Every structure is written in structure tokens, then in C-alpha cells.
Structure 1
Amino acid sequence: MHVSEIDTPALVVDLDILERNLGRVADYTKEHDLRLRPHTKTHKSPRIGKRQLESGAVGLTVAKVSEAEVMLGAEPADLLVAYPIIGRTKLERLMEVARRARVTVALDSTFAARQLSDAARAAQVEVGVLAEVDVGLGRVGVCPGAQLLQLAQAIEKLPHLTFEGITFYPGQVKDLDEAGLRALAQVGEILHSILAEFRAAGMEVKIVSGGSTPTLYHSHELAGLTEIRPGTYVYNDVNTVRSGGCAMEDCAASVLATVVSTAHAGQMIVDGGSKTFSSDRLVNSSEVTFGHVVEAPGARFHKMNEEHGYIDITRAEREFSIGDRVHIVPNHICVAVNLHEQMYGLRGETVEEIWKVEGRGKLQ
């Protein structure tokens, strides 16, 4: 199948770039003796998850139980649910997952830990637990210090749970500029203090899990970190480029769109809007744009309706006609993937693979 036969709008993946991204991260983690348990929130596909495992990942990370159920298709030996699981229905389903793969859950309360323990006891399975600590994002996670230590001690006492270590997400570090690197260094200082407190309490911390795609290649600078869970790196996007986490040539995924109107001078309309790209804007910027037009970097994708993309071409490097096709790298690829039913893997202009986005819409 030739790329010209793909109906638009469609999410396409350059397989050469995808494989390069996977290989680069695998090499980095091996070089620095870091476990790689990548988050599948970006690709939402067992097919890509299996590729991550084959390239050296020790397991996969998900946010929701339904995602864990889908990722069993990648046949991982280990699944990390990096989200507090609350409620009997979800926990019963998670226990079924735990019968087929080793399951670890990140949580930040004794309430969640007790519910997890009760479910594991009823199912007669063992579940690993990571105590989540807030290192500056202010989302989930207990404060470093006594709260974290007390949570870990409570987990240790609960039947059918194994305290594996701690987890954190440095999502407040959006840029790798001077301020961002200072913020990352502060995370390192927090980790140093946490690990010293656990040693003083005589508690073993086997896993220190953290990291993000923007901070990925600085992970080795955080002393004590043993595992990273990047997600976006597999495809990358405009926001990752803006953060300094990758270059535009590292963006493997783009939306293939067709020009459907040039009725207004200096403007073209493409056949994809907010239902194709999502409405996510650039991080840390007041600029209103929704993606990078590969064929004309000077063009400005500045407005969307649900099915219409408005692109200002007054500064484009070329002219466009109705029927022309363009590749647009989204600002935030994770959300864009969740809007599409399938993806097309390209090798040059040949469609080599087509796969369903099996984790699409898996929210429970």
C-alpha cells in the first residue's frame, strides 16, 4: 500500500524514526544502569509495547486498569499501574490482570493501600506497591519526610502487598533551560534526603521510579534513581521539541491531512480540527498554534473548529493547492493518538504496518 492510498486525516508513523527513538532510550538506560518501564499512555498499543519490551524494557507502565488489560496483549512480565486504584470494581479487574502478569501499583494513601490489600487477599495474589511522593508538581503524592515514611511503613504491614520502593513524577520541569535544570537539581536533593531517611529507618528501597520525556536524558544525574518511565519519547511531539527533550527530526508521528479549501488568500483549510489534533496548546508559551507543518515550517496552524484546521500560509515556503497533502506534528501526541482508531506505519512512502489503537478511550 502506498502512502497516497491512505484516507485522511490519519495518524502516520515513520518507522525508521520510531525504531531510532526506541534504540536510543534502550542504549541510554543500559549505559547508566537504569531500568526502563515506559509509560504506554502515548502509543496505547500492545504492538508498540511489545517493541519496547523487545528493545530492553523490563515492563510497561499504564494509568488505568483498562489500559493494563489491553497491554496484556504485549505479554509483559511486569505491569506498573502509576495511578491510585480506588473502588471494588476496578480492583477486582486488576486482580485478574495480576493473575497473568506481575502487577505493581503506585499510591499515596493508606486508604488506597488497604483497599488494594483486601482485593489481593480475596484473589490470593501478591501485588507490589510504590509509595508516591510529590517532588514539586503538586498533583498526587505525599510530602517528603515523615508522611512518606509512614505510608511506606503502613504498606509493609498489609497482607499480600510488597513494598517495592518509591515513585515520583517531575512534571513541573517543562523546559531544560537554566531554570528547568535548577528545578531538576532540587528534585535530586529531595531524593537524596528521602533515601537517607529510609536508610536511617532500616527500610530497603529496591526501586526509585521517576523521570519524564523532557528530563529523560538527564535521569542519570539524579543519584539513587533506579528506574525511568518516559512515554512521549516513542513518538515525540512539538511540546517535547520545545522542552529541549528532542529535535523535530525525532518526531515519528504526524497527522497526514488534505488541503480542502484555499478560498481565502493567505490561508488554507485542512481536513482535521480539534477532533483530529486535540486542542492542546504549546506549553510555557502564549503562542496559539496547534502543530508543526512539516512541508512548510513557516506556515502557522493557528485555529481549529471540530473538523477544520486553519493554516496561515502567508509566510509558507511554498504554495498549496486543493488536494495537496501535508504532515502536521501535533503539539501533544498522546491526546492526538487517543482520538484515532488506527495508525499507519510508513517506511519511506510504503505503508508497512497498520495497527489499531487498542487503548483508545480506556478510561476506567
Structure 2
Amino acid sequence: FKRAVEGQHNYLCAGRNDCIIDKIRRKNCPACRVRKCLQAGMNLGARKSKKPGKLKGVNEDSTPTKEGGQTCPGSGGGYLSSGEKELSTSPTNALVPHGPGGGLVTPYLPPSICSVLELIEPEVVFAGYDNTQPDTTDHLLSSLNQLAGKQMIRVVKWAKVLPGFRGLPIEDQITLIQYSWMCLSSFSLSWRSYKHTNGQMLYFAPDLVFNEDRMQQSAMYDLCLGMRQVSQEFVRLQLTYQEFLSMKVLLLLSTVPKEGLKNQAAFEEMRVNYIKELRRSVGKAPTTLDRRGNRSSQLTKLLDAMHDLGGELLDFCFYTFRESQALKVEFPEMLVEIISDQIPKVESGNTHTLYFHKK
């Protein structure tokens, strides 16, 4: 675990990053073993703690999460509230240090942050698309919504072990996820489309790939073209995996309330650290790619463009949400709660996007 986190070893899973790790099979796959350690809350400083009894791991399966979610009171609805409970009651933070009194100190980034980002990156989710039905507009959009609900589960789990993120107040964590979920989803889609189709199709899931016909049938053809254009930009830039991971975190940290977050200073420090990590990732790119300031500028301009595309996607999402009965488009419970809470904040102009370049 120590060698993996410090970057001395970069383990790769020969399967799909879902190997069974138990007492007998723990040595079969080092990559999945390290991933499980991170999800359980292990950290390098655990042995130095004066209160080892408090260093218990988070049991992901202790409170099973149904993809439909359950309605609970509080900000963000049942799904995000359940995430809030897990985040706030967990006794450890995988990568954020604790002070002598047990409280979290200012978020920080450990060495070899890129190795950690690779280990915690969520696995690809299957949509469960019913290919026996015709590709009607309502069937395609409903399937995309169901897929988005599944992906949201992974986003919250990813954020839980993201270095520095859990050092923020729980209200800030929920706000950042709510404001960025669409950008995160479309950015990850563009990466999959880049890797699996060379930017020619939209690879929503292994069992749900949009070709030209499906794009036109989806009633959001222009938006599909926009998302495909992003993946084609990945192709042009030959975006590296390390650059993608750093950029993805920055999308999470780029939309805030106009009045600011509860702990704005800690947020800004964390964001600066990840901007530095993106620059390091650019510096590690193959020598065939432009590693100078021009490439960094191109990547940050791409991040700015993602916010514009994400805003258009949200507008379409809000429209189909309001007209869901007339359009016969289904939304999973967790998206209903997220969108219901998000619409008034976005439409009232309460959000502020942090652009890298002046508009």
C-alpha cells in the first residue's frame, strides 16, 4: 500500500477493476487490493495515530444503496443525504490528515497524487439498455437518465476518497457535486468516446453507444455533436490519462455559489493544488506532445468550453424533466432529487463558474 500510494509501483488490473479481494485471494490482483484499501479509509499515517481504535475503514456494503435511492429530508434529497451521512460519520479520511484533537486540518495533496487518482477512478458502468425495443426518443433519453443515476453513485464514492475533498465542510461537498455532475458526466463520456471509438461515436456505456442515427433520434442532436467534438479534441491533443484525471477534478472544483462556499479558503487551496497537478501532468506527457505553456493553455480552454456545453446540457435536462410526463421520459429517484434542488439555484443565477480565461 505504501509503495503504491507513494508512486513506487503503478499497479494495473488485468480484468475490469472489480476483482474479489478477501483473505484467500488478496494477492491475486495488487491493483484491486490497493483500491479496496483506499475505499476502506487506509492512509499512510494510520500507524502513527495515538488512537488506533478510531482508525476503522468505511464499509461500503454496510448500508446498501439502491439505484433508485430513498427519499430523506435535507439538502440534496435522499440520495445525496445518504452520501452526506456516510461522509460526515465516517471516522477516517483516506488522504486528509487529522490533527491531535481529531479534527480535519487544511486539505493537502500527498506525493504522487496522480497514482491515487488512477486508483480511485470509477469503473465503467453498464446502462442495461434494452436492445429489443426500438430506438425511440423516450427510450433513449430514459436509458441515459437511468445510466446517469448509476454513475452518480460512483461519483459520490469517488469524491469520498478524492485527496483533499473530505477536508471541506459537508455542505460544500454536496454543493460541488450538485453543481458539477453534468460536466463530470459529459467529460467522462468524451474520454470513453476518445479511447473506444477514436471520437467517432458517443460511448455512453459498453452496451449503449450512440452512432449518427441514435444521435438524431435522441432529440438532442446538436448537444451530441458538441460532446463528440470534445472527444475529437481529445484525439487532436492526444490527451493523456493523467491529464484527463487532473482536468476531471478541476471540473468538480469550478462551479460554486455566488456567495461562496462555507470554507472558501480551503476550497481555493485545494483547487490551486490540482491546477499545479495538471501542470505536472502536462510535463509528464510524451515528448512528441507539446509540453510547454501552449498545451496547458489548450487544456484550460477546453475546460472552459466544458462549462458552456454543460450549461446547454443542463438546460435540455431541465426541459425534459419539466415535460417528463408529456415526453414519456423517465428519471430515477436520485436524479429527481438532485435536479429539483438544482433548478432554482441555477435559474436564479446563484451559481458562479470559475473560468481560466476571460470570456
Larger helix proportion of the pair: 2
Larger strand proportion of the pair: 1
Same fold (TM over 0.5): no
TM-score by length of 2: 0.24
TM-score by length of 1: 0.24
